[in-house]
Amino acid sequence: MIGQGLQVLTRFALVLASLVIVISCGSGAVGTIVNDPAKITILPGSDGTPTILYSGLPTTFTITGGTGVYIVSSSNQAIVQVSGNLVGNTLTVVPNNVVTETTLTLTARDTGTNTPAVVTLTVRPGTVSNMITIAPGSSACSPAVCSGGDAVVTATISQGGIPLPARGVRFEVISGDVRFITSAAGLAETVGLAVTTVTDETGAARVRLRALDAAANQTAVIQVTDLGSGAYQRTTLLIARATATQAGFFTVPSAVTYTGPNNQQCASGLSSEIFVFGGTPPYTIANSAPSAFATNTSVVNFSGGSFRVTPSGVCAENVTIAVTDAAARTTTVTFTNKLGTNDPPPAPLAVVPGSLSLTSCASTASAVIVGGKTTTYVAASSNGIVLATVNGSLLTVSRAPGPFTAPVSGVTVTVTDGTSVVSVPVTLSGTASTGPCP
């Protein structure tokens, strides 16, 4: 019975030793992790899988084998910025933009003597360009989309400047009160948070978007994904609250909070740009607290124009600046200027007065030490003929006893708080500089 039990355990151990784990990498490749102390493995890549990356799209690699502690480097840091020790055994890289397909290598070394593992990466240009346009169906809220209104969203899918026709593209709502028209032409209209379409011969994909009827003034975020490569890009659009009788009229932002540099000061010297949209321009700016917040103009002449607000350093809360359009509609921007949370920086280390003199063996001179990062000060003299002592923040200098006959000049006492140093010149005259002191 004991022998049979040992055979079962032996077979079980062999089964465990042969187990492999299957992983899915960021590029979509599937590989088998091999933990071999005598060999370093990078997946995908070490198993011969073509490793294709796209600019801006993350890809995850798993490194196993060897000592388990790795140093990873890229042969082209301008495209894949990897160089140094790896924490754990997974590495996610996001290639920078390339204009044409570019090849480079990724090398993993361990802390032992194993042969480094090298995989070849092919980086291709991203496929979702920056040319995502949103064209509102009505100019009443331009450049925003009116609540209840439509817009056409166009994204260009290309690679290295070459359009990619018949390419699947997915449009998704990330945040905001907008929806995509998902129904085909001629059918009952339906909307959804995502819609998929294909590009035309110019590489352009177009979908219709609608702002919800009850949408308030806001910024929405949508995402465009190339289904062929997985590359994606996000963009924002403005939504303006509008009804049948009133065009959207709003500011971006609608509220601003400034925070001071420390817990004893409110903000000053910085400024914010406030943009005005919709309504009927020109717009009049009315500042209710000019002593706390300064404005650079009292009139904005066109939709999409702006005015600048600068806090003066006066603490204030919920101060409103009214923006009124030519049709007497008014919207407000709220401003707050509050204290920071950090302690104020210490005053620079200084000694007052900045120089001292001794006129006799018995005379002393004192100065006060102020500022610095601590209140613990240390003083030292450049010449043993002068003694320097510190008691709290009081610096005292005196003539040292002992025989001394040659004249002395140029004695300096230095004071430090451990970080900065201040020099205090000490002038000696009379018996302090020429005669022996008892």
Please tell me if the domain spanning 128-240 has the same topology as the one spanning 350-434. yes
What CATH number should be reported for the domain whose range is 249-338? Answer: 2.60.40.10
- The 10s digit of each residue's pLDDT in 191-204 is 999 999 999 999 99
Asked if residues 104 and 76 have their Cβ atoms less than 8 Å apart, the reply is yes
Q: In what order do the strands lie in the sheet with 83-85?
A: 52-54, 117-124, 102-110, 70-74, 83-85
Tokens of 241: 């609250």
- The 10s digit of each residue's pLDDT in 13-44 is 433 443 333 333 334 444 556 678 889 999 99
Q: What is the mean pLDDT of residues 90-110?
A: 90
Both ends of the chain: CA-CA distance in Å? 103
Using DSSP's 3-state secondary structure scheme, residue 214 falls into coil
Determine the Cα–Cα distance for residues 199 and 394; give it in Å rounded to an integer: 80
The CATH number for 2-124, chosen from 1.10.10.10, 3.40.30.10, 2.60.40.10, 2.60.40.1080, is 2.60.40.1080
Q: Where are the domains of the chain?
A: 2-124, 128-240, 249-338, 350-434
Using DSSP's 3-state secondary structure scheme, residue 150 falls into strand
Q: For residue 181, how many other CB atoms are within 10 A of its CB?
A: 16
Closest CA to 91 of 117, 126, 113, 114: 117
Place of tokens 């020429």: 434
Q: For residue 262, how many other CB atoms are within 10 A of its CB?
A: 14
**Is 0.85 topped by the overall pTM?**
no
pLDDT of 318 reads 94
Q: Choose the weakest-confidence range: 157-161, 164-168, 208-212, 243-247.
A: 243-247
Q: Choose the weakest-confidence range: 133-147, 231-245, 321-335.
A: 231-245
- The 10s digit of each residue's pLDDT in 119-163 is 999 998 877 766 799 999 887 787 888 888 899 999 998 877 788
What CATH number should be reported for the domain whose range is 128-240? Answer: 2.60.40.10
- The 10s digit of each residue's pLDDT in 298-317 is 999 998 899 999 999 999 99
Determine the Cα–Cα distance for residues 419 and 411; give it in Å rounded to an integer: 22
- Say yes or no to pLDDT of 422 above 90: yes
- Say yes or no to pLDDT of 1 above 80: no
pLDDT of 7 reads 46
Per CATH, which fold does 350-434 belong to?
A: Immunoglobulin-like (2.60.40)
Using DSSP's 3-state secondary structure scheme, residue 15 falls into helix
Tokens of 156: 């260009």
Q: What is the mean pLDDT of residues 254-271?
A: 93
